[in-house]
Amino acid sequence: MTRPTTRRGTRERHEALLALLRGGTTRVEELAAALSVSPSTVRRDLGRLTADHKVARTYGGAVVPEAFHERPVAESALLNRQAKAAIAAAAEPLVPATGAVFVDAGTTCAALARTLAAEQGGRLAVTRGLETANILVGAAGWEVVILGGRILPLSHGLVGPLVDLALDRLSFEVAFLGADAVDPARGVGEPTLEETAVKERVAARARHVVVLADATKLAVRDAPAWARLPTSWTLVTDAAAPQDTPARCAAAGVTLHIAE
């Protein structure tokens, strides 16, 4: 007589586990504490949910593979803030001592902009993001150029022919790109072809391309449009990245940096 209750309890725990994962709690120990169960129970539950294709295992935890969904930048700024700060810190050593850098729109690139704003400038930063420009323009020593164009209402990124005109006259030592989805073999996924076109143009004008993306972007199933990147680009993500990320990056020739 206890079996239906046990199954119901397991289902309820699985639902609670998925809710925690979607909320950004990804580590086994944290999940166990939140659910008041043992880590071995969480690992067993994650194994079941992985087999059902409801989660993707990561080092020490899991993430929920999400369908593509573009969030407003204000909403995105509230999500995965610790991971984005860690990614920015891991990306900072990749910023060249001289030469121009491109820092994309988006909240992870804005986190990098906050890191750069705390440094002594003396360099040129180019962006297509309103938040990124606003952060860097107040930083001592940085010269900031924002590309012209049409402002997208959700991402606050600029797109269109005016962006292309400016990019024809610029080049970058490093381009730091954001993404709504990342696949080492396909590149970066975005909501529109306009945005993928901008990212491809930027990448073509850079000596090196670095993509900044938290682990949830690696778990997105698909995106409406994809930007192909030059060979030998670099991905900086956080420690919650799916377990197969190193193998996928190695197969695609992508350099991987995991932020701690």
State both tokens at 138.
């107040």
State both tokens at 181.
């989805």
Q: In what order do the strands lie in the sheet with 181-183?
A: 181-183, 187-190, 225-227
Q: What's the pTM?
A: 0.77
User: Can you list the residues of the chain whose pLDDT is less than 50?
Assistant: 1-3, 5
Position 3 scores a pLDDT of 46
Position 1 scores a pLDDT of 42
Position 161 scores a pLDDT of 93
Q: Is the dihedral of CA 83, 28, 20, 235 positive or negative?
A: positive
CA end-to-end span of the chain: 47
